[in-house]
Amino acid sequence: MPQKSFTPTDFWEGRHQSYHQDIDGYYTFDSSAKGEGLAGYRNASKEFQEIIAEAVQNNFTLRAMGSSWSLSTCGVTNHRLISSKNLRRFFGVSGSYVDPSYSKDSTKLLFFECGYTLSKINIELKKKGLSLTACGSNNGQTLPGVVSTNTHGSAFKFGATPEMVVGIHLITGPSSQVYLERASYPVVTKKLTDELGAELVRDDALFNAALVSFGSFGIIRGLTIETRDLFLLHLSRKFRPFNEALEKAITSLDFSGFTTYFKELEDRAADRNQFPVTFTEESLYHFQVTFSPNSAEKGKRPQEAAVFFGFAGPYRDDYTRPPEEEGSIGPGASGIELLGHLMESVPGPLKKFVKKQLDAQVKKLFQYEFTGTFQEIFRDESTKGKVFASGIGLSPSRALEVVDMALRTYEDFDTIMPVLITLRFVKETKATLGFTKFAPTCVIELDGLNTPNMQEYTNLVWARIEQAGIPFTMHWGKFNDHLDDTRIKAMYGANRDQWIQSREQLLSPEVRAVFTNDFLRRVGLAT
């Protein structure tokens, strides 16, 4: 019995209303099929192959989509989309499925089908006493979506979401499917890949290229990930002086100036949860800094910044959970959720973008302390309004130069807007075109409302950084109209060529054409 169906439509809108795409329609899969085990899984794979065969024969393009979370058009195309949201099987990878050379705890290896969102994954993992190792600011994205756009979070000692992936099942043509691993890091056996219906291919270059591919390496059918024991994240977001201690933390991840403050946070968390916690540089798991250009005096840095610290501690069930009110924003909400909520909920005068009022509301939203799991902190937010976000990766040593440029550009722009500048920090990725390539990477994001002024301001900031000769990359899944072929070559050098070569190795020319979109052509990655 076929699982797929096709719905004609001429229009598709991104989750955040950041783009509108003309399409011919989209495929969906019957949710009842998810109970059919691996036989159902293989049947769905065959139907993916049928869709690709039809696309090759009739000369139309495809893109698999998850939650349509990206603010860029990297993951859409102008012909047909494939919704994976009903494809949600998962199983543990253990026993005869695990390669004898794998030295880690195989009970923490799990395979997830392509329709699983991070939210649903977190629910399943908690039942097993496990957790993801990295998470973005939201849980609404699908696992393939966050991996293939290099969604990063701020787990600066671990890395972005691609770093937890150890196996990729790809549908690469009408009669081909592969399961990729690194040759340097074998994890599963041929028994597993045979049951999935895929050819086992161990190749470091192919795997690293396919990790961040924004849907252009075929269809990501499923992913094997490494998880960790369930843990609690004790977090605090407070306004702190923008002083020497914070500058050292930003530019070199040196937290020696926060020892006393960490102790204060530790004591408050212990009081809140009625059990001991430890807040040290060793237990620090998340670190980010946010400040508003609207709080700065002309020509000067803001005197304060919203500093977000998250400390990892062992899981126990008797903690005070974060509030979860209907329609409220979560404790881990990003700048775009906060700004969208702000502009929907505040009194009318604020909507005139009065500077002092805007800054006051931002400060109100950015002050809290909570304890929780990833599921409770980084929730599936309901973003309000047409929000905007654009981000770059660079060395932390250059971060404050860029912040200063963004502030000066805002003053030069001479238009009051709801804008937040956020710095997040993450360990470098092994992915060939991973934008978190710096060791470590500081991700600087400009968040606001999606208006022509905001787009113009953002592009002007990135252009000035470029003119200053500061090396940087751009977030694939956020507003990135600045990207083109020349800039991709400058950002990634030989890695660009390796990525193109890997794509050509995995996909035939006919299939490459099927998975080539306008974005890929614009940035010079289509062949």
C-alpha dihedral, 470 to 471 to 477 to 480, nearest 10°: 50
d(CA 425, CA 78): 35
Residue 491 CA: distances (Å) to CA of 13, 14, 16, 132, 467: 29, 27, 27, 29, 14
Residue 476 contacts residue 74 (beta carbons within 8 Å): yes
Region of residue 25 (phi > 0: left; psi between -120 and 50: alpha; otherwise: beta) = left
Q: Take residue 102 and report the two structure tokens written for it.
A: 């794998």
pLDDT of residue 385: 59
Domains and CATH numbers, the chain: 4-229+501-522 (3.30.465.10), 288-303+313-482 (3.30.70.2520)
pLDDT of residue 337: 53
Respond yes or no on whether the N-terminal peptide bond of residue 440 is cis (omega within 30° of 0). yes
pLDDT of residue 339: 57
Handedness of CA 465, 471, 472, 473 (dihedral sign): positive
Q: At residue 338, what is the residue type? A: L
d(CA 451, CA 13): 16
pLDDT of residue 276: 96
pLDDT of residue 413: 84
Provide the pairing of β-strand 25-29 with 80-83: parallel
pLDDT in tens, the chain (527 residues): 568 999 999 988 777 677 788 999 999 998 765 557 899 999 999 999 999 999 999 999 999 987 776 778 888 999 999 999 899 999 999 999 999 999 999 999 999 999 999 989 999 999 999 999 988 666 778 899 989 999 887 788 888 899 999 999 999 999 999 999 999 999 999 999 999 999 999 999 999 999 999 999 999 999 999 999 999 999 999 999 999 999 999 999 999 999 999 999 999 999 999 999 999 999 999 999 998 888 877 767 889 999 999 999 999 999 999 887 644 555 545 555 555 555 444 444 444 445 666 667 677 777 889 999 988 887 665 554 577 889 999 999 999 999 999 999 999 887 878 889 999 999 999 999 999 999 999 999 999 888 888 999 999 999 999 999 999 999 999 999 989 999 999 999 999 999 999 999 999 999 999 999 999 999 999 99
Provide the pairing of β-strand 387-394 with 228-229: unpaired
Residue 461 contacts residue 419 (beta carbons within 8 Å): no
Residue 192 contacts residue 41 (beta carbons within 8 Å): no
pLDDT of residue 16: 67
